[in-house]
């Protein structure tokens, strides 16, 4: 169920855009005779336009479609998350293109965000299926090699193993249609007074805007601060995080707290050394007497 299709003359069509990206009305391709020969960007199989019962426009593979097509095998939840991310990107004033492949086939972004001037790009990946930490890190590196930032988005009930291995968040789908999607994990702030990270929740739309504009960045968690606590189902649980999406202020607060802690440890070590010297001197005097 892709949102994009290849037109024989116009090229790539995007069903999530009002004009399909080419000044073309939906009625010009939907239920028309003769049929417009559209094909899948991934497997080149024939596609035809459809509209879901919720009014979502998309393209459907023709019969006897190849089972190996990646776009065909994506779930409905995967597609809905891609729509939410694209909507949030456009609300932030950026251009969003769905199902964008690399020229050499090294990657295919679920949603590619591009700044208005075209100087910045950021891939948004809806990752529902299981994947190893090494594989997702490798895919992240492929984007980095081309200067593209990336955020992996997981809608599962539990945090995946790779939640802090790459720039990633876990989101919570709304129970009611009018409610927003929420970032439930992967976003945090550092509290200097307590010297620890704390989970933060925010709407997906705001998170996307802040990440695009650089107000939130992926940051490494120092070893001492990797344990974090959270109440889940009325019970306080402990988690371990090596990386967060956070503000630059929180990064500075973590570094400031670590410098303060090291100074305190150095001062304590110095006091203990002086105390030991005094005790040894006293012991020598007792022996001399």
d(CA 18, CA 25): 7
pLDDT at position 228 is 93
Q: How confident is the model at residue 138 (pLDDT cuts 50, 70, 90)?
A: very high
Q: How confident is the model at residue 157 (pLDDT cuts 50, 70, 90)?
A: confident
Q: How much of the chain, in percent, has pLDDT values that exceed 90?
A: 54
Alpha helices, H only, the chain:
76-91, 133-145, 204-212, 248-288
Integer angstrom CA distances of residue 53 from 57, 86, 277? 10, 20, 81
d(CA 100, CA 254): 37
Q: Is 44 exposed, middle or buried (0-12, 13-18, 19+ CB in 10 A)?
A: exposed
Q: How confident is the model at residue 74 (pLDDT cuts 50, 70, 90)?
A: confident
Q: How big, in percent rounded to 5, are the helix, strand and coil portions of the chain?
A: 30, 30, 40
Residue 45 token pair: 């199989």
Give the model confidence (pLDDT) of 102-118 as tens digits: 888 888 999 999 999 98
Position 139 pLDDT exceeds 90 = yes
The pTM of the whole model exceeds 0.75: yes
Residues 6+ apart with CB under 8 A from 223: none
Q: Is 159 exposed, middle or buried (0-12, 13-18, 19+ CB in 10 A)?
A: middle
Give the model confidence (pLDDT) of 222-253 as tens digits: 999 999 999 888 888 999 999 999 999 999 99
Phi, psi angles (nearest 5°) of residue 110 = -60, -50
Q: How much of the chain, in percent, has pLDDT values that exceed 70?
A: 100
Give me the long-range contacts of 59-64 (CB less than 8 A, separation at least 24): 59/1, 59/2, 59/3, 59/4, 59/5, 59/15, 60/1
Give the model confidence (pLDDT) of 170-206 as tens digits: 999 998 878 999 999 999 999 999 999 999 999 999 9
């Amino acid at each position: 169920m892709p949102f994009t299709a290849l037109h024989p003359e116009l090229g790539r069509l995007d069903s999530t855009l009002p004009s399909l990206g080419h000044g073309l009305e939906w009625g010009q391709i939907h239920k028309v005779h003769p049929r417009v020969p559209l094909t899948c960007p991934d497997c080149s199989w024939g596609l035809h336009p459809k509209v879901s019962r919720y009014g979502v426009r998309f393209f459907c593979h023709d019969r006897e479609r190849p089972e190996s097509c990646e776009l065909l095998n994506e779930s409905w939840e995967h597609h809905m998350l891609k729509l939410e991310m694209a909507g949030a990107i456009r609300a932030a004033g950026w251009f969003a293109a769905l199902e964008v492949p690399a020229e050499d086939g090294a990657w295919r972004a679920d949603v590619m965000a591009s700044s208005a001037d075209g100087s910045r790009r950021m891939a948004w990946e809806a990752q529902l299926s299981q994947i190893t930490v090494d594989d997702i890190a490798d895919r992240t590196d492929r984007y980095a090699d081309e200067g593209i930032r990336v955020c992996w988005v997981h809608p599962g009930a539990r945090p995946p193993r790779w939640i802090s291995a790459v720039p990633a968040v876990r989101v919570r789908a709304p129970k009611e249609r009018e409610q927003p999607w929420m970032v439930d994990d992967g976003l945090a702030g550092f509290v200097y007074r307590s010297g620890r990270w704390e989970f933060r929740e925010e709407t997906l739309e705001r998170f996307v805007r802040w990440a695009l504009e650089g107000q939130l960045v992926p940051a490494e968690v120092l070893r001492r601060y990797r344990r974090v606590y959270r109440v889940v189902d009325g019970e306080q649980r402990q988690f371990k995080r090596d990386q967060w999406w956070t503000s630059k202020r929180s990064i500075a607060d973590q570094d400031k707290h670590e410098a303060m802690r090291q100074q305190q440890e150095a001062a304590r070590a110095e006091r203990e050394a002086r105390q030991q010297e005094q005790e040894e001197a006293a012991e020598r005097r007792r022996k001399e007497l």
